Amino acid sequence: MKFVKMHGLGNDFIMIDCLCDADSRDKRVSGTEDILNRETVQRLCDRHYGIGADGVICILPSARADFRMKLYNADGSTAQMCGNGIRCLGKYVYDHDRTEKVNLQIETDAGVRQLILYKETDRINTVRVDMGTPDFVPEHIPVRFSYTCVSVGNPHCVIFLKDKEELEQFALEKYGPELEHHPSFPEGINVEIAWIQAPDRIYMRVWERGCGETKACGTGACAVAAAAMRMRKCGPSVNMQLPGGQLRVDYGIRSRNLYLTGPAEEIYSGEIAMG
């Protein structure tokens, strides 16, 4: 099976092109989505015995949009949406001649998302994603106690800390999995810890559901920004500083949507035996 390894700020993915055609793709790729069971995804994402990644993305045809994204976490579970992953998908389909469009609609399990691709020479360097409207309604987030959470296509729990030192020393490897698997969150939860340095800059770390701590998380950055905006602790445009680098989140006053902008990079391509 052929694949391409990509990342957005160090949040890395195995990209599998399922857009088969007789001219440019090996027909063995057809049906790839069907063979990606939990065990197979875990093996592919294993950093010692597989390719190694935070997740696997299948690029599929769509009846509703230009392409469809099917996302698997490193533990084999599925995820509704991923801000870094969808930016990688946008770069992939343009750079690999799957489209000539720089304005794309991508179908996800959280709905259709719009992408704007920014070219540098003949390649895509930066991608802007319309992440939709943040949802603070508790009934829309699987949780069994009264808590301020936010959904940006998938559920997040945001914790604000008092300073950068507390952020860096926070035992996320201990409390992340405890919150992720807490019975109060029947479908699991993504956990973000954050420090607001200034109205236009927030530092954060993230524990991703099904992955563990990652260098960056696009939906997590949007969740933190949305929570800070709701608290009136930041402005409508904020730079999110993650371990892997910087993302920008903008709030559309008219649309009430969040827009995520950041880089996407291809690392390498290869082929792996599936048998």
Domain span at 16: 2-104+266-271
200: CATH: 3.10.310.10
Same domain, 98 and 195: no
Same domain, 97 and 145: no
Residue 247 belongs to some domain of the structure: yes
Residue 146 belongs to some domain of the structure: yes
Residue 226 belongs to some domain of the structure: yes
Q: How many whole angstroms separate alpha carbon 206 and alpha carbon 209?
A: 9
Secondary element (H or E) of residue 177:
helix 172-180
Residue 69 belongs to some domain of the structure: yes
Residue 153 belongs to some domain of the structure: yes
Instruction: Please list the active-site residues.
Output: 82, 217
| Burial classification of residue 84, based on how many CB atoms lie within 10 Å of its CB (0-12 exposed, 13-18 middle, 19 or more buried) | buried
pLDDT of residue 145: 55
Residue 132 belongs to some domain of the structure: no
Residue 192 belongs to some domain of the structure: yes
pLDDT of residue 141: 60
pLDDT of residue 260: 98
pLDDT of residue 139: 59
- Selection from 139, 81, 136 nearest residue 111 by Cα: 81
- Selection from 189, 184, 152 nearest residue 77 by Cα: 189
Residue 261 belongs to some domain of the structure: no
Same domain, 97 and 170: no
Total number of domains constituting the chain: 2
Q: What is the mean pLDDT of each run of 10 residues along the chain (275 residues)?
A: 96 94 43 77 96 97 97 96 97 97 97 96 95 80 63 93 95 94 90 96 97 97 96 96 98 96 97 83
Same domain, 244 and 152: yes
How many C-beta neighbours within 10 Å does residue 256 have? 10
Secondary element (H or E) of residue 218:
helix 218-230
